[in-house]
Amino acid sequence: MEIFQYDFMQRAFAAGLIVGLICPLVGLFVALRRMSMISDALSHVCLAGVAAGLLSGIHPILAAAAFALSGALCIEKLRAVFKAYSEISIAIILSTGIALGAILLDLGNGFNASFSSYLFGSIVAINQTDLLIIAVTGFFILALVLLLKKELFYISFDEEGAQLSGIPVKSITITFTALTALTIATAIRVVGILLVSSLIVLPVAAAMRLAKSFREAMLLSVFLGEAAVIIGLFASFYINLAPGGAIVMTSVLILLAILAWQQLQNTLPKGKTVGQSKT
């Protein structure tokens, strides 16, 4: 196919498939813990990290990862301070990330063009170094999530019970928040800072409408995430759309299609399906 004759598209698909795997996988536990807004907060911290990287000469993804990890640790620290109002910690870090990003952008107004590719994602700009960083980080995230899958599942549904059973809840919670930060930093090259939280949340939201078990939800969310990446990249190449926007919009359309199909099923008389209603 013509799309795979170009090296930049091969790198884009490789990076996209990795991101399409880890984002929904991490996003499922984020959703189960009712912390979907944490991805927005950390993505805005990544904004400051990318700006700092471009300003200092450090690779922007590595700088974004360092800033996101710092933000994740600060969120956990603030959650302990504001125990009764833990969501305040997310708002504080989100505001700090935006403010710091704005200051660093103003200091380095010469890199606006480079920064734009991280803001909205750019398949053309993914080079071998980017792909290597995404692959290594993605493997590390995948391995840790699968290793801690049972503990994360238990903590997500019954944190107090998990603590009583001897699971190191605090350590695992901090580790998972750090993994979320790394996931966001890894994905910004593909979908961009402004849209990365959507790729974490939308496939999971669609999967949770269809799944009847945790295992099904995990498999479906990954499948839908990968489908959105593949369809979005094809659309961006052949219709000349922004890749990040095309990927996330595909996720939105998949979710809307599932909701519409379920609504149609609910409006039919009991015992009938959509296929039977035509006869």
pLDDT tens per residue, range 239-265: 888 888 899 999 999 999 999 998 888
Residue 189 lies in a domain: yes
Residue 86 is predicted with a pLDDT of 67
Residue 54 is predicted with a pLDDT of 84
Q: Closest Cα partner for 178 from 16, 65, 258? A: 65
Residue 272 lies in a domain: no
Residue 268 lies in a domain: no
**Average pLDDT of every residue of the chain:** 85
Residue 150 lies in a domain: yes
Give the tens place of pLDDT for each residue, 203-230. Answer: 999 999 999 988 999 999 999 999 999 9
Band of the pLDDT at 111, cuts 50, 70, 90? low
Q: Closest Cα partner for 24 from 257, 186, 252, 205? A: 205
Residue 17 lies in a domain: yes
Q: What is the total count of domains within the chain?
A: 1
Residue 276 lies in a domain: no
Average pLDDT over residues 71-88: 80
Q: What is the domain extent for residue 217? A: 2-262
CATH code: domain of residue 34: 1.10.3470.10
251 or 54, which is more confident: 251
Other CB atoms within a 10 A radius of the CB of residue 156 amount to 19
Find out whether 70 and 64 touch, Cβ atoms under 8 Å: no
